[in-house]
Amino acid sequence: MKNKNLIIALTSSLVAIVIGLIIGFIVVYLTDSSIAVDAYTVLLSGGFYKGIKSTGEVLFYAMPVMMTGLSVAFAFKCGVFNIGTPGQYILGAFTSIFVCTYCDFIPSSVLWLVALIAGGIAGAIWAIIPGILKAFRNVNVVISCIMMNYIGMLLVIKWVKQYIYNSTGATSLTVSSANAVPSFGLYDFFNRSNVNIGIFIAIGLCILAYFILNKTTFGFELKAVGYNSEASRYAGMDDKKCIIISMMIAGFFAGIGGALAYTAGTGKSISTSEVLAADGFTGISIALLGFNNPLGVICAALFISYIELGGYYMQAYNIPVEIIDVIVACIIYCSAFSFFIRKIIESFFEKIGKGGKE
């Protein structure tokens, strides 16, 4: 039974991906049919287009979205839809830059780690608010998370201008390479790509989340409350505490994602434009594609990063950036329909089973 579910899950993900790829190709073909095949070949070879350097870039781009995907997946497993990842992500990003800028009394060898943890804590604190509202007032967590996203974005813009403003580019300051997450040889191994040990941290947190949810009593309680809070309360569990803790852990993962993205030493800065962090929303697609399984999130994040990098390389064919965004978005969002396709496949197998019994 377990193997059957795994096969259905993998099949539905593959079908969703193929549908997305087909739609993406149609968009390319309608844009310029003469280069459609060549351009799409580049898109599909994204992670290998420039050899091992491209592979390193896939790992680099996967770090933050793997964390936002894990944030959504973890909360969903606990019965909460955490759509507040953009807000938690940008709070984590701001906090990590702030720590790297003002806490220069901490040795550079550990400052990056302090910044990551601080970013995660900031995300957790931001997520605790909708968690408390849900636990004590039964406020719809989706609505409260959306509101927290905009509040967080506007607060970060204000704080950037107040504390870490770079007036030259109207953005935040950047984290220097001396205080960045170290690569420990990955920079050379992947032929001067931007990947660092943050990818191991991200994968390690996914494995830790899987272990907590599936191998510990604590994780069982969180999931039990998510399935049925009233029955869990009757069984002696503190449902309010579990809801709040679930959101805190989810927010911590999203905050770590923001911190990883902005402490990589690549010169990435926070824009003062009033736009929510795209990586936060990408996490929703990744969680759905990975079936809200922390281990599935690892694979889904790598796939999404692979496609996005391929889309970046497609610019060599003079395809407008907006069209590339549309293509990549079609593939990503069709991939997010894997859950819907899974239901269709399960329904199909059920009909076959009933037919066999008759």
Q: Which of 44-53, 148-157, 298-307 has the lowest mean pLDDT?
A: 44-53
SS3 165: strand
Give the pLDDT band of residue 295 (cuts 50, 70, 90).
very high
pLDDT in tens, 120-155: 999 999 999 999 999 999 899 999 999 999 999 999
The pLDDT, as a whole number, for residue 14 is: 80
Taking the alpha carbons of 11, 17, 22, 23 in that order, is the dihedral positive or negative?
A: positive
Taking the alpha carbons of 313, 314, 315, 317 in that order, is the dihedral positive or negative?
A: positive
pLDDT in tens, 225-280: 988 888 888 888 899 999 999 999 999 999 999 999 999 988 899 999 989 998 98
Minimal CA–CA distance to 112: which of 123, 124, 96, 98? Answer: 96
pLDDT in tens, 89-103: 999 999 999 999 999
C-alpha 208/C-alpha 136 separation (Å) is: 29
The pLDDT, as a whole number, for residue 336 is: 66
Minimal CA–CA distance to 58: which of 154, 202, 166? Answer: 202
- Give how far Cα 141 sits from Cα of 103, 134, 204, 250, 302, Å: 35, 6, 28, 13, 28
Give the pLDDT band of residue 55 (cuts 50, 70, 90).
very high
pLDDT in tens, 180-218: 999 999 988 998 889 999 999 999 999 999 999 999 999
Higher pLDDT pick, 150 / 307: 150
